[in-house]
Structure 1
Amino acid sequence: MRLEILNSGYRPGTKLLFTLIRVFSRQAVPDAAKLVFYRPDFYGGRAKEFTHQAMRGSSEWAVADRELMAAFVSKVNECAFCIGAHSATAGQAYHDDAKVRAVLADVDSAPIEEGLRATLRMLGKLTRSGTVDAADMREVLAAGVTPQQIEDALAVCAAFDTTNRLADAFGFELLSPAGFAAGAKYLLKRGYR
Protein backbone atom coordinates (compact mmCIF):
# COMPACT_ATOMS: atom_id res chain seq x y z
CA MET A 1 0.00 0.00 0.00
CA ARG A 2 1.42 3.36 -1.02
CA LEU A 3 1.69 5.93 1.75
CA GLU A 4 0.41 9.28 0.47
CA ILE A 5 2.67 11.20 2.86
CA LEU A 6 5.28 11.38 0.08
CA ASN A 7 2.95 13.57 -1.98
CA SER A 8 2.75 16.56 0.38
CA GLY A 9 4.42 18.49 3.17
CA TYR A 10 7.45 19.84 1.30
CA ARG A 11 9.01 23.27 1.71
CA PRO A 12 8.53 25.79 -1.14
CA GLY A 13 12.13 25.38 -2.37
CA THR A 14 11.71 21.62 -2.56
CA LYS A 15 8.44 21.97 -4.45
CA LEU A 16 10.23 24.21 -6.96
CA LEU A 17 13.04 21.66 -7.30
CA PHE A 18 10.52 18.87 -7.97
CA THR A 19 8.84 21.03 -10.63
CA LEU A 20 12.18 21.65 -12.32
CA ILE A 21 12.99 17.93 -12.24
CA ARG A 22 9.66 17.10 -13.89
CA VAL A 23 10.05 19.81 -16.54
CA PHE A 24 13.64 19.07 -17.53
CA SER A 25 13.59 15.27 -17.23
CA ARG A 26 10.03 14.86 -18.53
CA GLN A 27 9.71 12.18 -15.86
CA ALA A 28 7.93 11.93 -12.53
CA VAL A 29 10.03 12.64 -9.45
CA PRO A 30 10.97 9.23 -8.04
CA ASP A 31 9.65 8.41 -4.60
CA ALA A 32 13.24 7.83 -3.44
CA ALA A 33 13.92 11.54 -3.98
CA LYS A 34 10.68 12.49 -2.29
CA LEU A 35 11.60 10.43 0.78
CA VAL A 36 14.99 12.05 1.33
CA PHE A 37 13.50 15.53 0.96
CA TYR A 38 10.49 14.84 3.20
CA ARG A 39 12.34 14.91 6.50
CA PRO A 40 15.90 15.97 5.62
CA ASP A 41 16.79 16.78 9.23
CA PHE A 42 15.65 13.37 10.51
CA TYR A 43 16.49 10.94 7.71
CA GLY A 44 17.21 12.49 4.33
CA GLY A 45 20.42 14.42 4.96
CA ARG A 46 22.14 11.58 6.78
CA ALA A 47 20.90 8.94 4.35
CA LYS A 48 22.05 10.91 1.32
CA GLU A 49 25.53 11.42 2.77
CA PHE A 50 25.96 7.78 3.86
CA THR A 51 24.67 6.43 0.55
CA HIS A 52 26.74 8.87 -1.50
CA GLN A 53 29.89 7.88 0.39
CA ALA A 54 29.14 4.16 -0.06
CA MET A 55 28.31 4.51 -3.75
CA ARG A 56 30.62 7.30 -4.93
CA GLY A 57 33.28 7.66 -2.25
CA SER A 58 36.85 6.49 -2.71
CA SER A 59 36.91 2.72 -3.29
CA GLU A 60 38.77 0.05 -5.20
CA TRP A 61 35.33 -1.00 -6.48
CA ALA A 62 34.22 0.75 -9.64
CA VAL A 63 30.97 2.72 -9.55
CA ALA A 64 29.46 0.06 -11.84
CA ASP A 65 30.39 -2.68 -9.36
CA ARG A 66 28.80 -0.82 -6.45
CA GLU A 67 25.64 -0.17 -8.46
CA LEU A 68 25.54 -3.89 -9.28
CA MET A 69 25.89 -4.66 -5.56
CA ALA A 70 22.94 -2.35 -4.86
CA ALA A 71 20.86 -4.10 -7.53
CA PHE A 72 21.89 -7.53 -6.21
CA VAL A 73 21.03 -6.72 -2.57
CA SER A 74 17.72 -5.29 -3.81
CA LYS A 75 17.06 -8.50 -5.77
CA VAL A 76 17.69 -10.61 -2.66
CA ASN A 77 15.30 -8.32 -0.74
CA GLU A 78 12.77 -8.48 -3.61
CA CYS A 79 12.51 -4.68 -3.77
CA ALA A 80 11.14 -4.00 -7.25
CA PHE A 81 11.79 -0.26 -7.25
CA CYS A 82 15.45 -0.58 -6.25
CA ILE A 83 16.05 -3.52 -8.59
CA GLY A 84 14.82 -1.37 -11.47
CA ALA A 85 16.71 1.75 -10.41
CA HIS A 86 20.06 0.13 -9.73
CA SER A 87 19.93 -2.39 -12.56
CA ALA A 88 19.48 0.55 -14.92
CA THR A 89 22.31 2.47 -13.26
CA ALA A 90 24.69 -0.52 -13.24
CA GLY A 91 23.82 -1.28 -16.87
CA GLN A 92 24.62 2.29 -17.92
CA ALA A 93 27.81 2.35 -15.84
CA TYR A 94 29.06 -0.92 -17.34
CA HIS A 95 27.63 -0.12 -20.78
CA ASP A 96 26.35 -3.70 -20.55
CA ASP A 97 22.74 -4.39 -19.51
CA ALA A 98 23.17 -8.09 -20.35
CA LYS A 99 25.90 -8.45 -17.75
CA VAL A 100 23.63 -6.99 -15.07
CA ARG A 101 20.73 -9.25 -16.07
CA ALA A 102 23.05 -12.28 -15.99
CA VAL A 103 24.22 -11.49 -12.46
CA LEU A 104 20.68 -11.01 -11.18
CA ALA A 105 19.57 -14.24 -12.88
CA ASP A 106 22.45 -16.40 -11.58
CA VAL A 107 25.50 -14.94 -9.89
CA ASP A 108 27.34 -18.27 -10.15
CA SER A 109 27.32 -18.40 -13.95
CA ALA A 110 27.43 -14.65 -14.69
CA PRO A 111 30.38 -13.23 -16.67
CA ILE A 112 32.05 -11.36 -13.78
CA GLU A 113 35.37 -11.47 -11.97
CA GLU A 114 35.71 -14.02 -9.17
CA GLY A 115 36.31 -11.37 -6.51
CA LEU A 116 33.05 -9.62 -7.36
CA ARG A 117 31.23 -12.97 -7.52
CA ALA A 118 32.51 -13.97 -4.05
CA THR A 119 31.56 -10.55 -2.68
CA LEU A 120 28.04 -10.77 -4.11
CA ARG A 121 27.58 -14.24 -2.65
CA MET A 122 28.65 -12.92 0.76
CA LEU A 123 26.30 -9.92 0.47
CA GLY A 124 23.48 -12.26 -0.55
CA LYS A 125 24.02 -14.45 2.51
CA LEU A 126 24.22 -11.41 4.79
CA THR A 127 21.04 -9.96 3.30
CA ARG A 128 19.10 -13.25 3.54
CA SER A 129 20.25 -14.43 6.96
CA GLY A 130 21.52 -11.28 8.66
CA THR A 131 24.88 -12.85 9.42
CA VAL A 132 28.14 -13.99 7.89
CA ASP A 133 31.02 -15.83 9.53
CA ALA A 134 34.79 -16.10 9.30
CA ALA A 135 34.55 -18.78 6.61
CA ASP A 136 32.50 -16.43 4.43
CA MET A 137 35.14 -13.72 4.84
CA ARG A 138 37.98 -16.15 4.11
CA GLU A 139 36.24 -17.13 0.87
CA VAL A 140 35.99 -13.50 -0.23
CA LEU A 141 39.61 -12.78 0.73
CA ALA A 142 40.77 -15.93 -1.11
CA ALA A 143 39.12 -14.56 -4.25
CA GLY A 144 41.50 -11.59 -4.10
CA VAL A 145 39.21 -9.04 -2.46
CA THR A 146 40.93 -6.72 0.00
CA PRO A 147 39.66 -6.05 3.53
CA GLN A 148 38.89 -2.46 2.47
CA GLN A 149 36.84 -3.70 -0.49
CA ILE A 150 34.86 -5.91 1.90
CA GLU A 151 34.20 -2.91 4.14
CA ASP A 152 33.11 -0.85 1.12
CA ALA A 153 30.79 -3.63 -0.07
CA LEU A 154 29.27 -3.92 3.40
CA ALA A 155 28.53 -0.18 3.32
CA VAL A 156 26.66 -0.62 0.03
CA CYS A 157 24.73 -3.52 1.55
CA ALA A 158 23.81 -1.49 4.65
CA ALA A 159 22.63 1.45 2.55
CA PHE A 160 20.41 -0.70 0.36
CA ASP A 161 19.07 -3.00 3.05
CA THR A 162 17.73 0.19 4.63
CA THR A 163 16.57 1.77 1.37
CA ASN A 164 14.85 -1.44 0.23
CA ARG A 165 12.82 -1.63 3.42
CA LEU A 166 11.79 2.02 3.17
CA ALA A 167 10.89 1.64 -0.51
CA ASP A 168 8.64 -1.29 0.30
CA ALA A 169 7.19 0.31 3.45
CA PHE A 170 6.26 3.49 1.57
CA GLY A 171 5.13 1.61 -1.53
CA PHE A 172 7.46 3.37 -3.96
CA GLU A 173 5.86 3.54 -7.38
CA LEU A 174 7.72 1.78 -10.16
CA LEU A 175 9.01 3.99 -12.93
CA SER A 176 8.78 3.33 -16.63
CA PRO A 177 11.93 2.04 -18.35
CA ALA A 178 12.51 5.63 -19.54
CA GLY A 179 12.08 6.86 -15.96
CA PHE A 180 14.60 4.36 -14.61
CA ALA A 181 17.01 5.28 -17.43
CA ALA A 182 16.68 9.00 -16.65
CA GLY A 183 17.24 8.32 -12.95
CA ALA A 184 20.30 6.22 -13.76
CA LYS A 185 21.75 9.00 -15.89
CA TYR A 186 21.24 11.44 -13.01
CA LEU A 187 22.80 9.09 -10.44
CA LEU A 188 25.84 8.53 -12.62
CA LYS A 189 26.29 12.24 -13.17
CA ARG A 190 25.47 13.60 -9.69
CA GLY A 191 25.57 10.72 -7.25
CA TYR A 192 23.29 10.48 -4.23
CA ARG A 193 23.43 14.00 -2.83
Structure 2
Amino acid sequence: MAGRYEKPRRQQVGHLSYTKNLPGVADVFLRDPGLYAPLLQFIEGVMTRPSQLGKAEREMIAAHVSRRNGCGFCVGAHHWTLVAMGVDAETMDALDALAAGDGEGLSSGLRALLRFADRLTERPDEIGQEDVNALMAVGWSEQAVEDAVNVVALFNYVNRLVDALGIEAGEPYFRQIGKVIATDGYAPLIETALKRAG
Protein backbone atom coordinates (compact mmCIF):
# COMPACT_ATOMS: atom_id res chain seq x y z
CA MET A 1 0.00 0.00 0.00
CA ALA A 2 1.39 3.41 -0.92
CA GLY A 3 2.28 5.68 1.95
CA ARG A 4 -0.06 8.54 2.69
CA TYR A 5 2.57 11.17 2.12
CA GLU A 6 3.41 9.82 -1.31
CA LYS A 7 2.63 11.54 -4.57
CA PRO A 8 1.88 9.15 -7.43
CA ARG A 9 5.08 8.65 -9.38
CA ARG A 10 5.44 8.65 -13.11
CA GLN A 11 7.09 5.50 -14.40
CA GLN A 12 10.77 6.11 -15.03
CA VAL A 13 13.63 3.98 -16.18
CA GLY A 14 17.21 5.19 -15.95
CA HIS A 15 17.84 7.78 -18.63
CA LEU A 16 21.56 7.00 -18.94
CA SER A 17 22.94 3.62 -19.95
CA TYR A 18 24.55 3.12 -16.54
CA THR A 19 21.49 4.22 -14.51
CA LYS A 20 19.04 1.79 -16.12
CA ASN A 21 19.83 -0.97 -13.62
CA LEU A 22 20.54 1.13 -10.53
CA PRO A 23 17.96 0.44 -7.82
CA GLY A 24 18.23 3.84 -6.16
CA VAL A 25 20.03 7.15 -5.79
CA ALA A 26 22.47 5.61 -3.30
CA ASP A 27 23.76 3.51 -6.17
CA VAL A 28 24.34 6.66 -8.23
CA PHE A 29 26.44 8.02 -5.37
CA LEU A 30 28.37 4.75 -5.02
CA ARG A 31 29.00 4.47 -8.77
CA ASP A 32 31.28 7.53 -8.56
CA PRO A 33 32.36 7.75 -4.91
CA GLY A 34 35.18 10.20 -5.57
CA LEU A 35 32.66 12.74 -6.83
CA TYR A 36 29.80 12.06 -4.42
CA ALA A 37 31.59 11.37 -1.09
CA PRO A 38 31.73 15.12 -0.22
CA LEU A 39 28.02 15.42 -1.07
CA LEU A 40 27.21 12.49 1.20
CA GLN A 41 29.16 14.11 4.03
CA PHE A 42 27.20 17.32 3.45
CA ILE A 43 23.90 15.39 3.45
CA GLU A 44 24.85 13.72 6.74
CA GLY A 45 25.70 17.09 8.30
CA VAL A 46 22.58 18.85 7.04
CA MET A 47 20.23 16.07 8.06
CA THR A 48 21.69 14.77 11.33
CA ARG A 49 23.94 17.28 13.11
CA PRO A 50 22.65 18.86 16.32
CA SER A 51 20.07 21.53 15.53
CA GLN A 52 16.95 23.16 16.92
CA LEU A 53 15.33 21.36 13.98
CA GLY A 54 14.84 17.74 14.95
CA LYS A 55 15.87 15.00 12.53
CA ALA A 56 12.22 14.19 11.81
CA GLU A 57 11.49 17.86 11.10
CA ARG A 58 14.34 17.91 8.60
CA GLU A 59 12.99 14.74 6.97
CA MET A 60 9.56 16.41 6.78
CA ILE A 61 11.11 19.39 5.00
CA ALA A 62 12.91 17.02 2.60
CA ALA A 63 9.67 15.14 1.88
CA HIS A 64 7.71 18.36 1.47
CA VAL A 65 10.21 19.92 -0.95
CA SER A 66 10.35 16.64 -2.89
CA ARG A 67 6.59 16.55 -3.12
CA ARG A 68 6.50 20.17 -4.28
CA ASN A 69 9.03 19.27 -6.99
CA GLY A 70 7.11 16.12 -8.00
CA CYS A 71 10.07 13.85 -7.19
CA GLY A 72 8.29 10.60 -6.39
CA PHE A 73 11.48 8.73 -5.53
CA CYS A 74 12.49 11.22 -2.82
CA VAL A 75 8.92 11.54 -1.51
CA GLY A 76 8.77 7.76 -1.11
CA ALA A 77 12.17 7.51 0.56
CA HIS A 78 11.47 10.30 3.05
CA HIS A 79 7.91 9.13 3.71
CA TRP A 80 9.19 5.73 4.80
CA THR A 81 12.01 7.35 6.77
CA LEU A 82 9.37 9.30 8.71
CA VAL A 83 7.38 6.09 9.26
CA ALA A 84 10.54 4.36 10.55
CA MET A 85 11.17 7.34 12.85
CA GLY A 86 7.75 6.76 14.38
CA VAL A 87 5.98 9.86 13.06
CA ASP A 88 2.30 9.31 13.82
CA ALA A 89 -0.52 9.00 11.29
CA GLU A 90 -2.08 12.32 12.35
CA THR A 91 1.12 14.19 11.52
CA MET A 92 1.40 12.40 8.17
CA ASP A 93 -2.20 13.39 7.42
CA ALA A 94 -1.43 16.99 8.39
CA LEU A 95 1.57 16.98 6.02
CA ASP A 96 -0.77 15.84 3.26
CA ALA A 97 -3.23 18.59 4.19
CA LEU A 98 -0.50 21.23 4.11
CA ALA A 99 0.54 20.08 0.64
CA ALA A 100 -3.10 20.63 -0.35
CA GLY A 101 -3.13 24.08 1.31
CA ASP A 102 -4.30 23.42 4.89
CA GLY A 103 -1.96 21.82 7.47
CA GLU A 104 -3.95 22.74 10.59
CA GLY A 105 -2.72 19.63 12.42
CA LEU A 106 0.89 20.86 12.40
CA SER A 107 2.52 23.15 14.94
CA SER A 108 2.74 26.79 13.92
CA GLY A 109 6.53 26.46 13.80
CA LEU A 110 6.53 23.48 11.46
CA ARG A 111 3.79 24.98 9.30
CA ALA A 112 5.87 28.17 8.95
CA LEU A 113 8.98 26.17 8.03
CA LEU A 114 7.18 24.20 5.34
CA ARG A 115 5.58 27.31 3.86
CA PHE A 116 9.03 28.92 3.84
CA ALA A 117 10.32 25.79 2.06
CA ASP A 118 7.61 26.29 -0.58
CA ARG A 119 8.65 29.90 -1.19
CA LEU A 120 12.36 29.07 -1.28
CA THR A 121 11.70 26.22 -3.74
CA GLU A 122 9.34 28.09 -6.04
CA ARG A 123 10.42 31.74 -5.75
CA PRO A 124 13.92 31.93 -4.23
CA ASP A 125 14.48 35.42 -5.63
CA GLU A 126 11.61 36.71 -3.49
CA ILE A 127 12.99 35.53 -0.13
CA GLY A 128 13.66 38.50 2.11
CA GLN A 129 14.06 39.64 5.69
CA GLU A 130 10.31 39.33 6.28
CA ASP A 131 10.53 35.58 5.60
CA VAL A 132 13.29 35.14 8.16
CA ASN A 133 11.45 37.36 10.65
CA ALA A 134 8.30 35.23 10.25
CA LEU A 135 10.26 32.09 11.16
CA MET A 136 11.91 33.75 14.13
CA ALA A 137 8.51 35.05 15.30
CA VAL A 138 7.34 31.44 15.77
CA GLY A 139 10.44 30.51 17.75
CA TRP A 140 13.12 29.45 15.28
CA SER A 141 16.66 30.70 15.84
CA GLU A 142 18.82 32.18 13.10
CA GLN A 143 20.82 28.93 13.03
CA ALA A 144 17.61 26.91 12.63
CA VAL A 145 16.65 29.13 9.69
CA GLU A 146 20.04 28.48 8.08
CA ASP A 147 19.65 24.75 8.78
CA ALA A 148 16.22 24.79 7.10
CA VAL A 149 17.64 26.67 4.10
CA ASN A 150 20.28 23.95 3.73
CA VAL A 151 17.66 21.17 3.78
CA VAL A 152 15.54 22.97 1.17
CA ALA A 153 18.50 23.74 -1.09
CA LEU A 154 19.91 20.22 -0.74
CA PHE A 155 16.71 18.47 -1.73
CA ASN A 156 16.03 20.81 -4.62
CA TYR A 157 19.39 19.54 -5.93
CA VAL A 158 18.82 15.87 -5.10
CA ASN A 159 15.30 15.93 -6.62
CA ARG A 160 16.71 17.21 -9.88
CA LEU A 161 19.54 14.67 -9.89
CA VAL A 162 17.14 11.77 -9.28
CA ASP A 163 14.58 12.86 -11.87
CA ALA A 164 17.10 13.80 -14.55
CA LEU A 165 18.82 10.41 -14.22
CA GLY A 166 15.46 8.59 -14.18
CA ILE A 167 15.97 6.88 -10.81
CA GLU A 168 12.90 4.99 -9.61
CA ALA A 169 12.14 2.43 -6.92
CA GLY A 170 9.19 0.87 -5.14
CA GLU A 171 7.91 0.53 -1.60
CA PRO A 172 10.22 -2.36 -0.56
CA TYR A 173 13.28 -0.25 -1.40
CA PHE A 174 11.81 2.82 0.33
CA ARG A 175 11.00 0.84 3.48
CA GLN A 176 14.53 -0.55 3.62
CA ILE A 177 16.29 2.77 3.02
CA GLY A 178 13.89 4.51 5.43
CA LYS A 179 14.85 2.12 8.23
CA VAL A 180 18.57 2.66 7.58
CA ILE A 181 18.26 6.46 7.54
CA ALA A 182 16.03 6.48 10.64
CA THR A 183 18.48 4.27 12.55
CA ASP A 184 21.92 5.23 11.25
CA GLY A 185 21.46 8.44 9.29
CA TYR A 186 23.39 8.73 6.06
CA ALA A 187 26.69 7.54 7.60
CA PRO A 188 26.60 4.00 6.10
CA LEU A 189 26.58 5.49 2.59
CA ILE A 190 29.50 7.76 3.45
CA GLU A 191 31.55 4.85 4.80
CA THR A 192 30.89 2.76 1.70
CA ALA A 193 31.66 5.66 -0.65
CA LEU A 194 34.92 6.48 1.13
CA LYS A 195 36.01 2.82 0.99
CA ARG A 196 35.25 2.66 -2.73
CA ALA A 197 37.02 5.96 -3.35
CA GLY A 198 40.15 4.35 -1.89
Q: Structures share a fold, TM > 0.5?
A: yes
Residue 146, structure 1, aligned to residue 141, structure 2: yes
State the match for 1:179 in structure 2: 173
Aligned partner of 2:32 among 15, 28, 39: 39
2:109 to 102, 105, 115: 115
Which structure 1 residue ranges, 5 or more long, are not aligned?
9-28
Question: Following the alignment from structure 2 to structure 1, what is the Cα–Cα distance between the partners of residues 85 and 40?
Answer: 20
In the alignment, is the contact (CA less than 8 A) between 1:141 and 1:147 conserved in 2?
yes
Matches within 5 A, 1:23-62: 30-42=23-35, 44-62=36-54
Tell me whether 1:170 sits opposite 2:165 in the alignment. Answer: yes
Shift of 1:7: 5.4
The question of whether the paired residues in 1 share the 8 Å contact of 2:78 and 2:178 is answered with yes
Higher relative contact order (CA 8 A, sep 6+): 2
Structure 1 segments (4+ residues) deviating >6 Å: none
1:155-174: CA deviations, max 9, x gaps?
A: 11121111000010011113
TM value normalised by structure 1: 0.81
Give the alignment's Cα RMSD to 1 decimal. 1.8
Q: 1:59 Cα shift?
A: 0.8
Shift of 1:149: 0.7
Partner of 1:6: 19
Contact 2:74 2:159 in 1 (8 A): yes
Partner Cα distance (2:90, 2:80) in 1: 11
Q: Given that residues 75 and 104 in structure 1 are in contact (C-alpha distance below 8 angstroms), is that contact kept between their aligned partners in structure 2?
A: no
Mean Cα deviation higher: 101-110 or 86-95: 101-110
CA distance in 1, matches of 2:97, 2:18: 34
Partner-residue secondary structure (3-state), 1:81: helix
Distance 2:160 2:77 in 1: 15
Match of 2:85, SS state, is helix
In the aligned structure 2, how far is the partner of 1:35 from the partner of 1:170?
9
Structure 1 partner of 2:119: 125
> Residue 30 of structure 1 contacts residue 175 of structure 1 at CA under 8 Å; is this kept in 2?
no
| Unmatched tracts of structure 2, length 5 or more | 1-12, 188-198
TM-score (norm: length of structure 2): 0.79
